A = this chain, B = another copy of it.
Amino acid sequence: MDTFFKAIEPYSKLSTEGKRQLKSILKRQERPKGYLLVKHDTVCNNIFFVEKGLTRTYYYKNGRDVTDWFSPENTFACSILSYLSRNPDRRGIELLEDSCLITLQYYEIERLCLQHHDIENFVRQIISDGLIRMQNRFDSLIFETAEQRYKNFNSAFPFLHQRINLGHIASFLGITQETLSRIRAAK
């Protein structure tokens, strides 16, 4: 649990009571590689903090498996559109490695938000941060070439490319595996 509380520290200074309350709703689970955390086209009721391991968020586009996001240790995984809108989303989440996860459940979080102003603030900060990331990601899609995005990906997550196969990275970048292979070869 410590890694979790350390990871969220930057967002908001929770009171001791707030921390205690938050801690009380956390659940931890260990799951093997290949485990399906969230099934596509269902409502995502949890935010997952990855304590150890690696998740892949993906969807199907024209019958093909496309990667939407990777979440390695110390980051969050969630089908955020579904989580917030309470509607099913096409995104599913699977484990690329044996992983250890901490789960935050939607209704528990909402309950705590109503009861504790400092938790409401904390969650607002998390959502704001999510919006900032989303906008940055949108911008990277618009302003950067696939090559730049590949570099950014490598500097944001050094060594991660060694744990993920090329096809998944390519679809995450929005290009074909062949094109990524050529980008790599070109330098």
Q: Name A residues whose Cβ lies closer than 8 Å to a Cβ of B.
A: 61, 80-81, 84-85, 113-114, 117, 120-121, 123-124, 127-128, 130-132, 134-139, 141-143, 174
Contact present for B174 and A131 (CB under 8 Å): no
In whole angstroms, what is the CA distance A75 to B113 when docked? 27
Tell me the smallest distance from the CB of A129 to a CB of chain B, in Å.
8
Q: Which residue of B lies closest to A79 (CB)?
A: B135
Bound: A44/B138 CA distance, A:
19
Chain B positions within 8 Å of A139 at CB level: 81
Chain B residues with CB below 8 A from A113, complex form: 121, 124
Inside 8 A of A84's CB, which chain B residues have their CB?
128, 131-132
A138 touches B131 (CB 8 A): no
User: Would A61 and B138 count as touching, CB distance under 8 A?
Assistant: no
Q: Which residues of B contact A127 (CB under 8 A)?
A: 124, 127-128, 131
Cβ distance A171 to chain B, nearest Cβ, rounded Å: 11
Partner of A61, one of B80, B81, B142: B142
Chain B residue contacts of A135, Cβ below 8 A: 80-81, 134
List the B side residues contacting A174 at CB < 8 Å. Answer: 142
Chain B's nearest CB lies how many Å from the CB of A9? 18
**Bound form: Cα–Cα A132–B128 in Å:** 12
Set B81, B128, B130: member contacting A136, Cβ < 8 A: B81
Closest 7 CB pairs of A and B: A124-B124, A81-B135, A117-B117, A134-B134, A131-B131, A84-B128, A127-B127
* Cα of A61 to Cα of B61 in the assembled complex, Å: 28
Is B138 a contact of A141 with CB atoms below 8 Å?
Answer: yes
CB A116 to nearest CB in B, in angstroms, measures 9
